Amino acid sequence: MKTYITIKIKEIIKFYDEKENENSKHVSSITAIIGEDLGAGLIKHYFKKNKIESEIIDITPREKVNKGAGKWLDRWIKVYDNETIYYQTEIKNWSSYSKGGKKIILHESELVKMANERFAKEWLKQKQRFKEDAVNKVLLDMKINKEDYNSHNFPKIKQEFVKPLICYWWPILKDLDQSPFFEVDCSKNKETSFKKVYFFSMSMYLRCLLKNGTETINIEAPNVIKRYKLIENILILE
Domain-by-domain residue ranges, the chain? 4-234
What pLDDT score was predicted for residue 107? Answer: 79
Contacts of 73 (CB under 8 A, 6+ apart): 60, 61, 88, 89, 90, 137, 138, 142
What pLDDT score was predicted for residue 149? Answer: 57
pLDDT in tens, 98-134: 877 778 877 778 889 999 999 999 999 999 999 999 9
Positions in the chain short of pLDDT 70: 1, 66-68, 144-160
